Amino acid sequence: MNNFNAVISLKSAGVGRLLVRLLWVLLGFGIASTLLSLLEVIAKPVYQLLASLDALISVVTLLFSLISIIVFLIWLYRFHADLRDIFKEYPITPGGAIARFLIPIYSIWGIANTLSTFADRFKGEGDDLTNLSDQVRSLIGPLYGFMIGSNFVNRIAFQEVAKNPQDNFLPFWSLFSCILGLGSTAILLLLAKTMGTAITQKAKRAIS
C-alpha cells in the first residue's frame, strides 16, 4: 500500500476536505458581512443601498452554516473512528466525541477535552506531528474566547432589539458579532486543516 492509498483509507479524509471547503466559503461570507456591518456603522446611507445584499448574504450564510454543522459532526465521528483504528487505545470514541461537542454544559469541558486529548496523543509522535499537536493546543483558548464572546454579544444584541428595535447602537453589536463569528470560523478552519494534516501524516508513517 502506498501513501496515496493510506490517505484514501482514512474514513475522515473525504469529508474533511469538504469541511475545509465549506469553512473557506463561510469565511468569505463572514468577511463580506463584516465589511457590510462596518459600512453600516461608518456610512449608513451607502449601506442602505446594499442592505438587500446584506440580507441575502445572511440567508446564504445561515444555509451554509447548517450544512457545515452537519458535515462537521460527520467528520468528527469519522475522524475519531480513524484515531481508534490508528491508536488502538485512544480514549475517546466517535460517539463520545460527538457528545462532548453537542451536549449543553458538558460541552464546556468536552470540547477542550477532545482537542487536548488529540494534542496530547500526537505530541509524543515527534517532528512535524509534535508541531501540529502544539498548534492544535494553541487554538483551544482562542476558540473558547471567540465562542463565549460571540454568545455574549449575540445575547445582548437580541435583548436590545427586543427592548428597542430602533436603538442606534445596534449596528455596533452587529459588527462585533460579525467579527467574533469570523474569528470562530477561522479557528475551526485552522483546527480542521491542522488535525487533518496530522492524522494523514500519521497514517503515512504507519505504512512507511
pTM over cut 0.85: yes
- Cα angle for residues 149, 152, 154 (degrees, 5° grid): 105
Domain count, the chain: 1
Q: Closest by alpha carbon to 114, among 74, 88, 76?
A: 76
- Average pLDDT of the segment spanning 18-44: 95
d(CA 51, CA 46): 9
- Residue at 101: amino acid letter: F
**pLDDT higher than threshold 60 for residue 28:** yes
Residue 154 structural domain: 3-207
In this prediction, residue 157 carries a pLDDT of 77
**pLDDT higher than threshold 80 for residue 90:** yes
Give the C-alpha distances (Å, rounded to integers) separating 120 from 60, 98, 105, 129: 37, 19, 23, 11
